[in-house]
Amino acid sequence: MDFDYKLLAKYLAGALSPEEMEKVEEWCALSIENEEIFSKLMRLRVSWEFIQYNTPEHIEKALDRLNATIDGRRRARLFRFVMRYAAVVLLLVSSFYAGWNYLKPEDCVTITVRQGENVRKVELADGSTVWLKSGSSLKIPETFAVDNRKLSLQGEAFFDVAKNASSPLYVSTNYVNIKVLGTTFNVRTDENSENVETVLASGKIALLDKQWKTVLDMSPGEKVTYNNYKNEYTTEIVDVNICTAWRLNQFVFENVTLREIANQLSVKFNVNINLESSKLARRKFRCVINEDESLPDILDLLKYLAPIRYKMEGKEIFIYE
């Protein structure tokens, strides 16, 4: 068979006519060697979006160069020459794997709230609002893509997403991704335990795995925790007001033990809170505390709610019956 080898290069560039494709298929069926070469070319074309690079001038120039180096007596070296052409194409294409347009890197701005800083409210260009908790960072593209809006989160954030039926918003973390059209939800990532907690306040969102495939849809009032170690999702019903109160700079304690309250206050104020007994530690409270209140004010509130007293000695706090 008198085969024109430049058709293989045209195949890479997506420039074959149906008649030319038939000739390539006939050549491929002639030998196992031909099949192996064509199989490699197929993988190349899937990996790199050659179809985006199809200007006649560049294609013709590359084909002429290819034909000058290949003749019928040097077929064993064919793939090396085609690879040389592929490298020329690869340098000029803007995307190099299938789906790159969907996940392509963009110029981004990263907003970071240092540990101990107040909650930061971020207004996005599309009208969405994000509350970013201390110790968290949010990566935002300078300009949202036409077909999707994509953010990257580390830490904890509450999202109030503007609805746009033609352009979903995606929130990516190190372990799961979230797809949403318009809703309110909270996301908290824990790198130490490799957990991601997602709480849906209103609307509907879908959780996606790291390959961007849908795993499950969430309903309002649900909290889904993903554990990367176990590759496991667990779902529970929660009070979304309590789970999202932090964005209002509030501690909301709903039937919470004094031990749990003491743990949170110890972290916030960098003190050590000592409880007199296990019975006292198990006492439960229902209250709302503003985060900007001082520790003595909070302790006075707890003293008012229950028959307790306290003593402060530097960073040591003692609470008694």
61: confidence class by pLDDT, cuts 50, 70, 90: low
Mean pLDDT, the chain, rounded, equals 79
Q: Where in the chain is the domain with CATH 2.60.120.1440?
A: 105-240
Assigned CATH for 105-240: 2.60.120.1440
Q: Which of 290, 218, 287, 206 is nearest to 247 (CA)?
A: 290
**More confident of the two residues 3 and 304:** 304
With CA atoms as reference, report the closest residue to 153 among 173, 181, 132.
Answer: 173
Higher local confidence (pLDDT), 284 or 132: 132
CATH of domain 249-320: 3.55.50.30
Element (H, E) at 64: helix 56-69
Q: Who contacts 73 (Cβ-Cβ below 8 Å, separation ≥6)?
A: none
Claim: this prediction has a pTM higher than 0.85:
no
Strand order in the sheet with 195-202: 120-123, 129-132, 156-160, 184-190, 195-202, 222-227, 232-237
Q: What band does 268 get if pLDDT is binned at 50, 70 and 90?
A: confident
* Segment holding 213, helix H or strand E: none
Six-digit token string for 238: 């929660």
Greatest distance between any 2 Cα atoms in the chain: 98
Q: How confident is the model at residue 290 (pLDDT cuts 50, 70, 90)?
A: confident
Question: How is residue 201 annotated by DSSP?
Answer: E
Q: In this predicted model, what pLDDT tens digit does every residue of 100-125 receive, in sequence order?
A: 344 444 578 899 999 878 889 999 88
How far apart, in whole angstroms, are the C-alpha atoms of residue 249 and residue 256?
A: 18
Are 126 and 138 contacting, i.e. CB atoms less than 8 angstroms apart? Answer: no
Q: How far apart are the first and last CA of the chain?
A: 98
More confident residue, 50 or 25: 25
Q: How many helices (H) and strands (E) does the chain have?
A: 10, 19
Range in 26-30, 153-157, 312-316 with the lowest mean pLDDT: 26-30
Q: Give the residue range(s) of CATH 3.55.50.30 domains in the chain.
A: 249-320
